[in-house]
Structure 1
Amino acid sequence: MKHYDLVIIGAGPSGYAAAMRAIDLKKKTLLIEKSTLGGAGITNGALSSKTLWELSRDMLAFRKNLDRYHLEPPKAVWKEIQVEVQNAVQERVHLLDSHLQELQNNPKYATYIDFIEGEASIISEHLVEIETLDERLAFETDYIIIATGSRPRFLPNIPIDEKYILTSDGIEQMEDFPESMVIVGAGVIGCEYATIFSGFGQTKVYLIDKGDSILPFEDADVVAVIEKNLEAQGVHIHRNSSLSRMERENGKVRYTLNFSDGHQETFEVDKALVSVGRVPNYEKIWKEAVPIKMGKRGVEDHDTNTSVKNIYAVGDITADINLVNVGELEGRYAVEKIYGSPKRKLVYENISTIMFLNPEVAGVGYNEKTAQAKGLNYKVVTTDYSTIARAVAKRNTQGFIKLLVTDDDEMQILGMRVVGEQASAAIQAVALLISMEKGIEELAECVHPHPSITEGIQESVRALLGKSILKSGLLKDKVNCYCYDCNKKERVMF
């Protein structure tokens, strides 16, 4: 029976990254995937939905600028949009596949990597079986990494058929833009799809929100910008509502909502998108004799270790943050932990995130809600995009930068949110400083290119240090600094 140093089950972002790190360490590795290389990081997930977002954003920007050219707004063709998304997915899958083939054909790497398409099952702590289209195989291994990802969550009272009532797995298979669509769930994914379809301008979008505001984990000032733009694009937000019933009827979707004030209403739309989170793919991955413990949200792991000493879990199958960049980080970290000591601890406080909304929202570390939940005193500066020359030049000054630091002389960075154009490009320097547990002096004195969005971060830092060009509080809602006292639960401007 063939023996491997490491078997990795799942070739999505975390599994693929783990395999490449194992090759670096010259470990004989078997990578197994039952469907498509790249997993939900590419297909029916991160890449495909973000390609949709980019195309939608282009269409929205084009429609907004038509007046100056005295042109009628065009209509997007769904079939062409589908083709563009499929091309993006195929390009990425082809890249990974070609890379894997080159590794297997290269004498420098071929010894260390094998790839098999098939469905894997962990029979015991050191034995993995694989069922392919033609045969059943078995391999011994020293270590196993489970990286089987996740899938959309289903709700028992909603008859999802991926034709009328869809999840993200079925959204790209539609035949045309629906005239109307309801989205169940006002979290990140639900709001992203509301942004996408309202941006194309051919679908009336309804968004069901059980609270009084979308994105309940974000600060009110961030949410206010996103809600304003969604509603300006025609999105109707069903606030303070819960879904009582949803069914298919005569080629339509009927849904009934119970509102917090006691009244009930029924609506009819062409399509429904259920976006209520994801669940881990763990079924049939290991036999009952393998004592891997499961928690409420996924495999129980401690620093990527499962309850079985030589078996590790990374990516969406765990209860950690379900993001591509986090999955890749965990995959690489697990390999380094198996074969030595990682140079850096696995921490999540400096993970950069981006929400593909209108405008985009990038974040790292704490926002005010999480800082207050931790009982922290902090200082905040908010700098409006209208003060940033690059935003003015782009003729799009909607947005702001919000930076949190500790309320002491060190002013260690706690977190940042950037809402606006090129938000994701502005976040990484702060993420690095958070991981290094540094203060803000380095940002204040760094010479930024002009004009750039990052100049707004520099001005924010200078405002906290009392040496900004635009002084805090003098220009209404442009640059403002305040302290938050957790004990008194109050803000004090400075």
Structure 2
Amino acid sequence: MNKYDLVVIGAGPSGYAAAMRALDFKKKVLLVERNVVGGAGVTNGALSSKTWWEISRETQSFNKRLKNFNLKAPDVNFKEIQAEVNSAVEQRKTMLMEHMNLIQSSQFADLLEFKIGSAKLINEHEIEIESKDGTTTVYADYIILATGSRPRKLPEIPIDEKVILTSEGIERMDDFPESMVILGAGVIGCEYATIFSGFGKTKVHLIDKGDRILPFEDDDVVSVIERNMESKGVLIHRNSQLIKMEVVDGRVRYELEYDDGSKEVFNVEKALVSVGRVPNYEKLWSDAVPITLNKRGIEDNETQTSVSNIFAVGDITADIALVNVGELEGRHAVEKIFGKPQRKLVYENISTIMFLHPEVAGVGLNENQAKEKKLAYRVVTLDYSCIPRAIAKRNTQGFIKLLVTNDDDMKILGMRVVGNHASSAIQAVALLISMDKGIEELAECVHPHPSITEGIQECVRMLMGKSMFKPSALTGQLSCRTCCEGVYENIIF
């Protein structure tokens, strides 16, 4: 029986990161993957959907420019776009595989093994692996479970991945549907609504059980996104409950009931069910392995499960299901096993991006969350029309919103950026949150010009009472307020 210091099950973002970090400790590692390297983060998740989004955004921007010159936009070819997305996915998968192959001729040559197959824990140290070469059993001092997740399916909806789809089936469509309904108005559902409406080929319906999409986000953020969606023809079914969805004559017929008791039936070409994801842990271990589960996945203490030598990372746990979080957890687990982590595993400074129109980037608390925690805070907002880089790009839709503690320290609680380059504007703030620092460092740092981050600096200077633009003068573009026990008060200067 082959023995390893560590066996990692799953070669998605978190498992791959864990295996590579273990090599730094000069440990013998076996990485096992059932399907393809990269997991859903590459094949039908983050990378593929964001490539679709980038092409959709470019198409929309190009068509807008043509319209300004009274030129007709060219037809959008689905197959060509699909090929471009597939090329991006293959490029990433190839790079990950080539990297592992090159490791075989490096100083880590005798440390890393990779095997395609299905793994199951027989006991706390032995793993049975079924592959095309047969069944083998290996021994591991430590085990990391990183088998990811899959789209959640609802038993009452006949998902066939042809007419009624999840995010897995949507990658295999033959053409743009003339109409599509999306069940679920969370991040993934809204991103796909943005993608398909952006190409201008699909009438998108979005089912939202509440009175607005993205219920976890602040009203001012959601307002921009909803307005843009509806301007592109998206029909948002607010305050609606799905009664029935079925395939009739090769199309989707669905019935909604609204909060006022009224009902309505719609007919569209395709449906996308986007109601979250579920962890992949079925048949992953035998009854002899006492791993504790909860409603959201494997229960863990900073990646360590109820079995001391078995760790769980990524979507299979009850923590945040994001690629960057999974990679962070993978590295942390290895450091916890073979070393001593320099800091605890925290999620307060995790940066997120929502690929919408425009993009939304955030870190830390939003205003809704600060209110729920009953925090006293200061909040400043600055419209993109005050930022030279946004003006130069001829797109000033968006704003920056920064929350700090309502005291002399003014430690950063969180930030949201809505608009062009939002994702590139938040990392400095994420660092300050992780360092538990205030805002002084941002106030006097010399930012590149012109850049979106200059807007963040101006927000900080507003909070410190020394901004160039005064909110008392530009009341429609700037604001600076305090909130204590739900009562707002403008800061005047």
* Range into which the TM-score falls when normalised by the shorter chain: over 0.9
Task: Give 1:69 shift.
Answer: 2.1
8 Å contact 2:377–2:406 — kept in the other structure?
Answer: yes
Pairing 1:454–2:453 present: yes
Task: Give 1:310 shift.
Answer: 0.3
Task: Give 1:288 shift.
Answer: 1.1
Task: Give 1:67 shift.
Answer: 2.1
**Structural mapping, 1:7-46, within 5 Å:** 7-46=7-46
Match of 1:490 among 475, 487, 492: 487
Tell me whether 72-81 or 29-38 shows the greater mean CA deviation. Answer: 72-81
Task: Give 1:375 shift.
Answer: 1.4
Matches of 1:387 and 1:203, distance apart in 2: 35
For 1:34, give the aligned amino acid: R
For 1:98, give the aligned amino acid: E
Alignment length (residue pairs): 491
Matches of 2:74 and 2:245, distance apart in 1: 33
Tell me whether 246-255 or 466-475 shows the greater mean CA deviation. Answer: 466-475
Task: Give 1:62 shift.
Answer: 1.1
Aligned to 1:212: 211
Aligned to 1:99: 99
Aligned to 2:127: 128
Task: Give 1:105 shift.
Answer: 2.6
Aligned to 2:276: 277
- 1:339-396 per-residue CA deviation (whole Å, 9 max, x = no partner) reads 1210121000000000000000000000011111111100000000000000000000
- 1:192-211 per-residue CA deviation (whole Å, 9 max, x = no partner) reads 00000000000000000000
**Structural mapping, 1:343-362, within 5 Å:** 343-362=342-361
Task: Give 1:134 shift.
Answer: 2.2
Identity value in percent: 67
- 1:265-297 per-residue CA deviation (whole Å, 9 max, x = no partner) reads 000000000000000000111011100011001
For 2:22, give the aligned amino acid: A
For 2:31, give the aligned amino acid: L
Aligned to 1:474: 473
Task: Give 1:300 shift.
Answer: 0.6
Matches of 1:284 and 1:162, distance apart in 2: 24
Task: Give 1:110 shift.
Answer: 1.0
For 2:490, give the aligned amino acid: M
8 Å contact 2:67–2:73 — kept in the other structure?
Answer: no
Pairing 1:385–2:396 present: no
Task: Give 1:473 shift.
Answer: 2.9
8 Å contact 1:48–1:85 — kept in the other structure?
Answer: yes
Pairing 1:292–2:321 present: no
Aligned to 2:88: 88
8 Å contact 1:75–1:202 — kept in the other structure?
Answer: no
TM-score (norm 2): 0.99
**Structural mapping, 1:191-340, within 5 Å:** 191-340=190-339
Matches of 1:75 and 1:159, distance apart in 2: 33
Task: Give 1:169 shift.
Answer: 0.2
Pairing 1:172–2:160 present: no
The root-mean-square deviation of aligned C-alpha atoms, in Å, is 0.6
For 1:6, give the aligned amino acid: L
- 1:79-101 per-residue CA deviation (whole Å, 9 max, x = no partner) reads 11110010000000000000001
Matches of 1:416 and 1:363, distance apart in 2: 6
Matches of 1:473 and 1:128, distance apart in 2: 66
Matches of 1:399 and 1:435, distance apart in 2: 26
For 2:488, give the aligned amino acid: R
- Counterpart of 2:52 in 1: which secondary structure? helix
Matches of 2:89 and 2:365, distance apart in 1: 33
8 Å contact 1:377–1:483 — kept in the other structure?
Answer: yes
Task: Give structure 1 regions of 4+ aligned residues with deviation exceeding 3 angstroms.
Answer: none
For 1:332, give the aligned amino acid: R
Matches of 1:99 and 1:32, distance apart in 2: 16
- Counterpart of 1:205 in 2: which secondary structure? strand
Aligned to 2:145: 146
For 1:259, give the aligned amino acid: Y
- Counterpart of 2:339 in 1: which secondary structure? coil
Matches of 1:448 and 1:383, distance apart in 2: 17
- 1:444-472 per-residue CA deviation (whole Å, 9 max, x = no partner) reads 00000110000000000000000000012
- 1:404-445 per-residue CA deviation (whole Å, 9 max, x = no partner) reads 000000000000000000000000000000000000000000
For 2:20, give the aligned amino acid: M
8 Å contact 1:473–1:481 — kept in the other structure?
Answer: no
For 1:443, give the aligned amino acid: L
Matches of 2:206 and 2:472, distance apart in 1: 36
Matches of 1:141 and 1:86, distance apart in 2: 36
Task: Give 1:188 shift.
Answer: 0.1
TM-score (norm 1): 0.99
Aligned to 1:438: 437
For 1:89, give the aligned amino acid: V
**Contiguous gaps of at least 5 residues in structure 1:** none
8 Å contact 1:362–1:424 — kept in the other structure?
Answer: yes
Matches of 2:367 and 2:110, distance apart in 1: 50
- 1:241-263 per-residue CA deviation (whole Å, 9 max, x = no partner) reads 01000000001100000100110
